[in-house]
Amino acid sequence: MEPVATFCGNCNCGCPQLFVAETAPAERGIVINDDFAQQARMSAGQVGSLVEDAEAASRTSLLRVK
């Protein structure tokens, strides 16, 4: 698996990581390992949708603060 990102990285506690599993089927090609040694596997489209939802929620939260 090819590492893409580490979320946190400021400790040695097994921070969550994002990988691309190039040999996996497309619907399971993106892998997120959490800090409890669990995995979530999904497609690139699912990750894109997750990011879009998170960005929209962030914008909505910012609008409520004003």
Structure confidence by residue, pLDDT tens digits, 18-59: 999 999 999 999 999 988 889 999 999 999 998 898 888 877
Radius of gyration of the chain (CA): 14
Q: What is the pLDDT of residue 58?
A: 76
User: In the predicted model, is pLDDT for residue 66 greater than 60?
Assistant: no
User: In the predicted model, is pLDDT for residue 64 greater than 60?
Assistant: yes
Q: Rounded to two decimals, what is the model's pTM?
A: 0.73
Cβ atoms 29, 38 nearer than 8 A? no
SS3 60: helix
User: In the predicted model, is pLDDT for residue 9 greater than 70?
Assistant: no
SS3 17: strand
CB atoms within 10 A of CB 53: 10
